[in-house]
Amino acid sequence: MFEQTFKNIDDVLWKEAGCSSELDYTEQTSWMLFLKYLDDLEAERAMEAELQGKTYNHIIDEAHRWNTWAAPKKPDGSFDHDAAMTGDDLIAFVNDDLFPYLQSFKERASSPHTIEYKIGEIFGEIRSKFQSGYSLRDALEYVDQLNFGSQQQKHELSHLYEAKIKNMGNAGRNGGEYYTPRPLIRAMVHVIKPTIGETIYDGACGSAGFLCEAYDYLRYGPEGRNGENGNGTSLSTDALRTLQTRTFYGKEKKSLAYVMAIMNMILHGIEAPNIIHTNTLAENLADVQEKDRFDIILANPPFGGKERREIQQNFPFKTGETAFLFLQHFIKHLKAGGRAAIVIKNTFLSNADNASRALRQELLESCNLHTILDCPGGVFLGAGVKTVVLFFEKGSPTRNIWYYKLDPGRNLGKTTALTDDDLREFVELQATAADSEKSWTVDVADIDKTTWDLSVKNPNAPEEAPLREPEEILAEIALLDKETAELLDDVRGMI
């Protein structure tokens, strides 16, 4: 229903001089979508208050409401082109009036968890990149065609928005930072098996893919929103309130990712997401208290970054590798008995530096690292790095590690991306830690206590043919050269 509208918005942005990439398209769509969502939310709340004989106090004043400046309407509900600003007047209003007004909400908000704070945070971090007020007018009219009134409408919009985030990741550059393949996330959630009442955290949440998939799992059952027998309709009012307010928590450093996380969670059904815009690694782990810990952590922290020395001082094991600092953060923020699934570079398993060895030892001794999923190259489009997923529980040392080597049987790429079927066997075998050609178990007692090396080496894989000797290869090359020369002689003789 809304797919063509999204395409129309993209067409407008493609022609806009201020937008040059998929990242720009997603950012600009996001702030307009957010304001349209906010207007629909306020209209719904005002109607509910009226039915109850109460007065509703709007968050946004009348001069800055969507139906005043973005999509003014006639009494019959049709678009009022005469009242709609456009051209330079519209650009001036958005840049000099609307955005400063919305930015001011952050200072007036009672807490970071309110919708008012989210408004101020979002519009304090992004700006309109429209240079043409006529292009902006076209985009706003398309956005006005989108409605957030029903759960079905939000469902469709969330799919379209997820596709936009995926396209941004596929486009390369740094877009891939914000997108973890959803089949991999769903497999991680299925292994962790969250339950309503548990808190779920991602300290490097990007576009909030982990939190959104966990929400769908809890709201609609293991089959998600697309399942035929989702349990969403049977949840109690208290359970739904718990999911809305006391279940999902995230932190994100980058402005665009923060905006996408908020919008993505809103579209999945969370009205005021508990996402904080902050540098997670700036927090000193020595200050973490029990109230700061969570039942479940699901994350794919950024890897390859290098953190400054002052940031490294917040951690027991000093390293410039961002992902290894995040792993320390996650272990510290997990409750006793809590469960985690973390994506990390596969070099973590074997790096020989002191920090890596100490971190592996800490993980094995303070947590039960029960499963390691070894992912092939190409899982993360645009990133050649190979990764593993660490599954662990905090509170008891590791005795055995069950490994699974994921092999989809094809090279992964844009047109051959990872699917849920590719991970189905992993999820099924993991439940019983069964051995197979792709899976095996390692006794921690057999691990070298000097290196704490956890490298993936499948003892059950069929033996590969041994490498040939150089002399044999050279002899074959000489034979092929001789055969080629003879064929050329025959051809010349026929000419």
One-character DSSP codes across 187-248: HHHHHH---BTB-EEETT-TTTHHHHHHHHHHHH-TTGGG-TT-SGGG--HHHHHHHHHSSE
Looking at residue 343, its pLDDT comes to: 96
Q: Is residue 10 a contact partner of residue 138, using CB atoms and an 8 Å limit?
A: no
**Main-chain dihedrals φ then ψ at residue 60, nearest 5 degrees:** -95, 130
Strands, E assignment, 346-405: 367-374, 387-394, 400-405
Q: Is residue 181 a contact partner of residue 379, using CB atoms and an 8 Å limit?
A: yes
Enumerate the β-bridge partners of residue 400. 443
- Dist CA 132 CA 18 (whole Å): 9
**Main-chain dihedrals φ then ψ at residue 90, nearest 5 degrees:** -70, -45
Going across the sheet that includes 274-277, the strands are 274-277, 248-252, 200-202, 294-299, 334-345, 387-394, 367-374, 400-405, 439-443
Q: Classify 439 as helix, strand or coil.
A: strand
Q: Which fold has domain 174-446?
A: Rossmann fold (3.40.50)
3-149 and 174-446: identical CATH topology: no
The C-alpha R_g of the chain, in whole angstroms, comes to 27
Q: Vertex 201, ends 196 and 204: CA angle to 5°?
A: 150
Q: What is the rounded end-to-end Cα distance, in angstroms, of the chain? A: 66
Whole-angstrom CA distances from 170 to 28, 321, 323 are 18, 24, 22
* Amino acid at site 460: N
CATH number of the domain located at residue range(s) 3-149 in this protein = 1.20.1260.30
| Residue 404, token pair as written in the block | 């699974």
**Main-chain dihedrals φ then ψ at residue 478, nearest 5 degrees:** -60, -40
Cα-based torsion angle of the residue sequence 207, 212, 213, 214 in order, rounded to the nearest 10 degrees: 120
- Dist CA 217 CA 225 (whole Å): 8
Backbone torsion region of residue 43, taken as left when φ is above 0, otherwise alpha when ψ lies between -120 and 50, otherwise beta: alpha
Looking at residue 26, its pLDDT comes to: 87
Look at strands 367-374 and 387-394 and give their pairing. antiparallel
Which runs of consecutive H residues, i.e. helices, occur in 16-95? 22-51, 66-69, 87-93
Enumerate the β-bridge partners of residue 367. 394
Looking at residue 476, its pLDDT comes to: 65
pTM of the model: 0.86
Looking at residue 223, its pLDDT comes to: 75
The per-residue pLDDT string of the chain (495 residues; one tens digit each, 9 = 90 and over) reads 688 999 999 999 999 988 888 888 888 999 999 999 999 989 999 999 999 999 999 999 999 999 999 999 999 988 999 999 999 999 999 999 999 999 999 888 888 778 888 899 889 888 999 999 999 999 999 999 998 877 778 878 888 888 888 877 665 445 445 578 999 999 999 999 999 999 999 999 999 999 999 999 999 888 766 544 444 457 899 999 999 889 999 999 988 889 889 989 988 888 889 999 999 999 999 999 999 999 999 999 987 767 788 999 999 999 989 999 999 999 999 999 999 999 999 999 999 999 999 999 999 999 999 999 999 988 876 556 789 999 999 999 999 999 999 999 888 877 888 999 999 999 999 999 999 999 999 999 999 999 999 998 888 876 655 556 676 677 667 766 766 665 565 545 545
- Dist CA 42 CA 243 (whole Å): 21
> Residue ranges per domain, the chain?
3-149, 174-446, 468-495
Cα-based torsion angle of the residue sequence 331, 333, 336, 337 in order, rounded to the nearest 10 degrees: -70
The full length of the chain comes to 495
